[in-house]
A and B are shown apart, each in its own frame.
Chain A
Amino acid sequence: MIPALIAWHALVASAAPVLARRLGRRVFLWCALAPAVTLGWIVAVAPKVRAGDPATASIRWVPALGLELGFRMDGFGLLMAGVVAGIGLLVFAYARSYFAGHEHPKLGALGAHLVGFAGAMFGLVTADNVFALFVFWELTAVFSFLLIGFEDTKGSARGAAREALLITSLGGLALLAGLVLLTQAAGRASLAEILASPPRGGTVTAALVLVVVGAATKSAQVPFHSWLPAAMEAPTPVSAYLHSATMVKAGVYLVARFAPAYGATGVWRPLVIGIGLATMLVGGYRALRQHDLKLLLAFGTISQLGFLFVVFGAGTPTATKAGTAVLLAHALFKAALFLVTGIIDHQAHTRDIRRLDGIGRHHRLLAATGIAAAASMAGIPLSFGFVAKELALETWIDGPFAGPGNAAVLAGVVVASMLTVAYSARFVWGAFAAKGAFPGARAVGADMPAPSLAFLAPAALPAAAGVLFGLVPGRIGSLVVDAAAALGSVAAKGPAGAGLELWHGFTPALGLSALVLTGGGVLVAARRRVERLQTDAPSPVGAATGYQRSLEWLNLVADRTTAVLQNGSLPTYVAVVTITVVVVPGAVLVRHLQVPDGLVAAESWVQLAVVGLLAVAVGALVRIHRRFAAVLLVGAVGFLVAGLFVLQGGADLALTLVLIETLGIVIFVLVLRHLPERFRAPVGRGVVAARAAVAVAGGVFVTGFLLTAGAARTAAPVGEALIDQALPLGGGRNVVNVILTDFRALDTLGEISVLLVAALGIGALVTAGRGRSREEQR
């Protein structure tokens, strides 16, 4: 069924551009059919899957490479797929209103790409074969690229699309390498099977690092995070869907899957948790500085993704359960927040907090939605975010690490959470508060038209769910527990297996929560001072600059390399070819030089004399600078070679060569009569010497190679056997002619084909300058 659902996505996607021409923005309702059907199926199979019976499917692709479209949706996959389809449904409903007012020519493409993405994401979270997972992994990147570049006439959108694609693809390569290593170590390509009996060893460690790098780029972890804020160029429904709720979770998804199996392995926790902590802090810090609501949310997302890395990275049962809860909570509140931002942007035509003034007072429902979601993000009690965060804090209080390491992580998490509280407050304040416009900005607020209910509902729904799940975490809690159990961590449904609860009693976690809220409150209260501090603080080299620098560096390297290797000069090319031909085999040859047994100095005195003349003629030829003389000398060389042929017993050969040389001279003369009489002045002495050295090396190489090769001959050559066959089989006495017209007539057929082609080419070139050729005029 899973492949069929993916195919259904493909079908819906391919129809979207066509339908969009008729339906306009209502095409998104058609698009919604894709996640709707998926959601229906998920609900239908949920009981079975949660009972521990995963939904599987498999299509063979290239078994020899371990490549198989193998699917296995367990409880965790179910939760993820549910998020993908559920948020997808909301986003499509929302998009219909979001694009009201401007019938964009690319709406159909947007719908198609969104549906395509939904299908790919669904495949990603249900894939079992690691290469199938990789396939969907890369597909999400491609769709993300196309979606970020929706406003392709804007340079910034194009750049952002490229940045996202390149950075995530870099990680994709690492991931692929890691997966290949892992499958080779495990001898299988099924993720579930690999993780059930995880291989160990040095190669596996390398593989894990590569997988984590892949996950980190996708989930916008430091130092790969710069693409995510840039990706806010995309339309807000896209940001809400891909860049907060689903795609950026793909890396987290991998960490979640791997952590229970590899959490205890040496490199895993320091790496994953270290990355996560840094990301949390950087994201939270940067979020506090933003004036654009969307960018604020983007950095918030980065921070939350870091949080997820930290929590899931531990790999303990509690951690996994907590991570699953945070993941779900984040999907709900972050989608809602983005959608709210989109509504403000659409209605007020700005999302700059310096201009928004008093929207909360006029649009209560909108404000309520935003506040509820932000509360969940900040982890205010009574929200689902609070429940999840409590659980996460518990992870670190119980502590998978011993001693100071644990405390350090806990401290980091607490500080980052304070930042989270602060930027959540900043969001609410910035979006809704009546604070008056900043100096120099035109305020928008009271005059903003109210959004329709259909527009608001997709945002309100997840926000409400966040509150509901917070108040009554029981039902959703069992879903989370089942999901975490599927990750293989909850061995015993003991304390860690218990459901989620709003009230745990007075636990250390509660104390920490209180600390976080207090700290966050202080940051909010002192926001002016904090802001000033941030503005004054030296800003370190950001990841965005890093990306730009790498691009510049890459272009420079490319230009330089190309300038050296591709210098466009024919003599250089010829020299390189010659040197390579001489050096590469020559290096081997010099160690094995030999001389044939039957070597004679010369066949006869005449031969020696002819060779001597030949040497003289060649020597003269290379120096001469008059064209006609040079041509005649070449002719002379030809006749001398013909002489060598005669001496060796080649009558036809000599005859042919003499005729060809004669004809050649005629052709030469016909061409040369147009050209200057002398060659251009010779170049510098160094160049001449270099050319001579290359040339001599070539000649020595050929002679040496020839002698060595001749020494190896043991068997009688084929040529001798041909002599006996000429008369009986070929019916001719001239063996050479029989070979040419009979035994090897195919060579001759090729040879005359070359002549024909050359003749046609010459004709075309020579007559090109004469307008229409005379023949055609006739």
Chain B
Amino acid sequence: MSLALAVAAGILVSGGLYLVLQRTLTRVVLGFGLLSHGANLVLLAAGGRAGAVPLVDGRRGMADPLVQAMILTAIVITFGITAFLLALAYRSWQLTRDDQVEDDREDRRIARLATRRGRR
């Protein structure tokens, strides 16, 4: 395993999490971009050392093709869902002219209620 790869995965996850922790949906989406790269690098590193492109031509020492296939699938799936999230941001803009994620109204109401009752 390559330490650099493992560290790169960590860096991407850190950066991704930081962005996902924001309130602006665009940044959240960008964060997921990083986060999924990080996850994919975990898979890649799990495949072991670097190797030749897995094309059957008699050579030995190929990279693990299974992790590549899994990463490919994961990339596509994440892409689909991220695009959907962007569409939500778009719709949010249509409705509120912004892409901030507001708090849940009912939850806030109950929180206020609890504070009021507590004070009584």
A and B touch in the complex (CB under 8 A): yes
Interface of A is mostly: helix
A503: interface (CB < 8 Å): no
When C-beta atoms are compared, the residue in chain A nearest to B82 turns out to be A664
The CA-CA distance from A694 to B21 in the complex, in Å, is 9
Of the candidate stretches A24-32, A216-224, A338-346, A748-756, the one touching chain B is A748-756
Classify chain A's interface size: 35 or more
1/0 per residue, CB under 8 A from A, across B40-75: the answer is 111011111111111111000011111111111101
Q: Roughly how many angstroms separate A668 CA and B32 CA in the complex, as a whole number?
A: 13
Which of B12, B34, B71, B80 is close to A653, meaning CB atoms less than 8 Å apart? B71
**New contact pairs (6) apart from A657-B75, A717-B64, A754-B76, CB-CB < 8 Å:** A566-B107, A568-B106, A602-B2, A735-B54, A739-B69, A765-B88
Which of the 9-residue segments A53-61, A203-211, A462-470, A629-637 touches chain B? A629-637
Q: A73 to B76, alpha carbons, bound, how many Å?
A: 69
Whether the Cβ atoms of A703 and B65 lie closer than 8 Å is no
Q: Closest A residue to B38 by CB, please name it.
A: A702
- Alpha-carbon separation in the docked complex, A615 to B117 (Å): 49
- For B12, the closest partner residue in chain A by CB is A618
| Contacts between chains A and B (CB distance < 8 A), count | 326
Inter-chain contact A559/B114, CB cutoff 8 Å: yes
Q: In chain A, residues 669-725, which have Cβ atoms closer than 8 Å to a Cβ of chain B?
A: 671-672, 674-676, 679-680, 691-692, 694-696, 698-700, 702-703, 706-707, 709-710, 713, 717-720, 722-723
Find the B residue at minimum CB distance from A743.
B69
Shortest distance in angstroms between B29's beta carbon and chain A's nearest beta carbon?
Answer: 8
> Cβ of A187: which chain B residues have Cβ within 8 Å of it?
none
Say whether, besides A611-B4, A622-B15, A762 and B83 are in contact (CB < 8 Å). yes
Bound CA span A709–B48, Å: 12
Residue contact A650 to B44, C-beta cutoff 8 Å: yes
* Chain B residues near A657 (CB-CB < 8 A): 75
- In Å, the complex CA distance between A248 and B86 comes to 62
Complex-state Cα separation, A751 to B79, whole angstroms: 10
Q: Determine if A675 and B7 form an interchain contact, defined as CB atoms under 8 angstroms apart.
A: no
Would B103 and A651 count as touching, CB distance under 8 A? no
A740 to B66, CA, bound (A): 9
Identify the closest chain A residue to B109 (Cβ).
Answer: A568
Q: Please state if B23 and A630 are interface contacts (CB–CB under 8 Å).
A: no
Report the nearest A residue to B37, measured CB to CB.
A641
> At the interface, yes or no: A567 with Cβ under 8 Å from chain B?
yes
Interface assignment of A120: CB less than 8 Å from any CB of chain B: no
Residues of A within 8 A of B52 (CB): 649
B100 touching A680, Cβ below 8 Å: yes
Name B63's contact: one of A650, A676, A761 (CB within 8 Å): A650
What residues of B have a CB within 8 angstroms of the CB of A736 in the complex? 54, 65, 68-69, 72
What are 28 A-B contacts with C-beta separation under 8 Å?
Answer: A562-B114, A563-B114, A568-B104, A570-B101, A601-B3, A607-B50, A611-B11, A637-B37, A638-B37, A649-B53, A652-B72, A660-B75, A671-B90, A675-B89, A691-B18, A695-B15, A698-B17, A710-B6, A722-B65, A733-B56, A734-B56, A736-B54, A736-B69, A740-B73, A747-B70, A762-B83, A762-B87, A766-B91
A560 nearest in chain B by CB position: B114
- The distance in angstroms between the C-alpha atoms of A644 and B50, with both chains bound, is 10
For the complex formed, measure the closest distance between the CB of A42 and the CB atoms of chain B, giving whole angstroms.
54
Contact of A739 (CB < 8 Å), options: B4, B6, B47, B65? B65
Contact of A719 among B23, B65, B114 (CB under 8 A): B65
| Contact B103 A766, beta carbon cutoff 8 Å | no
Is the C-beta of A773 less than 8 angstroms from some C-beta in chain B?
Answer: no
